[in-house]
Amino acid sequence: MSKPLNLLWLQSGGCGGCTLSLLNADYSHLFDTLAGFGIHLIWHPSLSEQSADEAKKIIDDCLNGSTQLDILCLEGAVLQGPYATGGYHRTTTGETMMNLVKRLAQVSRFTVAVGSCAAFGGITAGGCNPTDACGLQFDVDTLGGLLGNDYRAQSGLPVINIAGCPTHPNWVIETLAAISSGLLTESMLDAFQRPRLYADHLVHHGCTRNEYYEFKASAHKPSDLGCLMENLGCKGTQAHADCNIRLWNGEGSCTRGGYTCIACTDPGFEEPGHPFLETPKIAGIPIGLPADMPKAWFVALAALSKSATPKRVKENAQADHQVVAPTVKRVHRK
């Protein structure tokens, strides 16, 4: 039997939400689940019991080669400020987290960014970005970040970006399982180095509001049942994730809860240039059109769809509960 892979998890500039999400995975016990996939979590700052001195020894052993570091997971953005010193975030020994992550990334077989902050900068890099926060290998949507364009872990792979704010727990578990089984190759990552196991889908896929989308029967306020794209800023037709196929906690998603998709798996989602619950338009046409959809086609299809909207769909779209049930066809009896 092969030795388990050693996983070291660090937290940098973020809220810890990806760890909280991970604890809600569809498994009874996180440590046992990872062990079942051949992964040994040697240290996690929020979940492990070791003292500070013991944790330091674990990290030092990874750096000097006494302990094989197979998977380095970083949650949260890297804080490069002030003036590229990394001084805004230091460890208990005084070393900057920026420098520690750089050193660990050089000896790790796989380097994984958990969440959009670690991948692209995320919420931590929002606004004027006073801490100069960035992702491990991306600064928003531009390659580079902390480790640079050409960085490769010991396995030969670039940083694996499990983007999301927070990440779906199963995206993390399945990505780590694919690494452990030797099945994760660079071809399984998309252009932003996100695992294609979830990034090759759109949030739109499986959305319970799809009938309203097809007829362009739109919600006008968050509690309405209709499509959230036209008026309430939903980016589900553009956002790369399988949230409505792989439900959260087995039963929910943002759109199923009545909230618009803000495309939190995409770089720069935190700065859309408009309020999250508004859809910017030009001449009444949403600026953000569905992925792969030419504007002329959308305009033509939208006009045709609205003219054919059934009364049931139109009335239900602007209500907070179903007010008109689908028609039941007559039963023909002999």
Q: Residue 283 — pLDDT band, cuts 50, 70, 90?
A: confident
The boundaries of the domain holding residue 183 are 5-199
Last residue in a domain, options 177, 199, 221: 199
What pLDDT digit, counting tens, does each position of 185-242 carry? 999 999 999 999 999 999 999 999 999 999 999 999 999 999 999 999 999 999 999 9
Q: Residue 44 — pLDDT band, cuts 50, 70, 90?
A: very high
Last residue in a domain, options 184, 199, 214: 199
Whether residues 186 and 68 share a domain: the answer is yes
Instruction: Please tell me the predicted confidence (pLDDT) of residue 27.
Output: 78
Average pLDDT over residues 84-89: 97
Whether residues 19 and 119 share a domain: the answer is yes
Whether residues 37 and 68 share a domain: the answer is yes
Whether residues 121 and 44 share a domain: the answer is yes
Whether residues 156 and 224 share a domain: the answer is no
Whether residues 206 and 195 share a domain: the answer is no
Evaluate whether residue 330 is within a structural domain: no
Evaluate whether residue 327 is within a structural domain: no
Instruction: Please tell me the predicted confidence (pLDDT) of residue 1.
Output: 54
Whether residues 9 and 146 share a domain: the answer is yes
Q: Count up the domains in the chain and report the number.
A: 2
Evaluate whether residue 38 is within a structural domain: yes
Instruction: Please tell me the predicted confidence (pLDDT) of residue 293.
Output: 73
For residue 92, what is the domain's CATH number?
3.40.50.700
Percent of the chain's residues with pLDDT above 90? 82
Q: What are the distances in angstroms from CA 46 to CA 10, 11, 17, 127, 131?
A: 9, 9, 11, 28, 23
297, pLDDT greater than 70: no
Evaluate whether residue 270 is within a structural domain: yes
Whether residues 191 and 217 share a domain: the answer is no
Instruction: Please tell me the predicted confidence (pLDDT) of residue 19.
Output: 96
Whether residues 254 and 146 share a domain: the answer is no
Whether residues 216 and 188 share a domain: the answer is no
Evaluate whether residue 126 is within a structural domain: yes
Tokens of 148: 């640079």
Last residue in a domain, options 199, 221, 252: 199
Whether residues 24 and 87 share a domain: the answer is yes
For residue 314, what is the domain's CATH number?
4.10.480.10
Q: Report the alpha-carbon distance of residue 318 to residue 54 in Å, rounded.
A: 58
Whether residues 229 and 157 share a domain: the answer is no
What pLDDT digit, counting tens, does each position of 45-71 carry? 999 999 999 999 999 999 999 999 999
Evaluate whether residue 334 is within a structural domain: no
Evaluate whether residue 62 is within a structural domain: yes
Instruction: Please tell me the predicted confidence (pLDDT) of residue 115.
Output: 98
Evaluate whether residue 297 is within a structural domain: yes
> Per mean pLDDT, which range of 21-25, 143-147, 180-184, 243-247 is the poorest?
21-25
Instruction: Please tell me the predicted confidence (pLDDT) of residue 250.
Output: 83
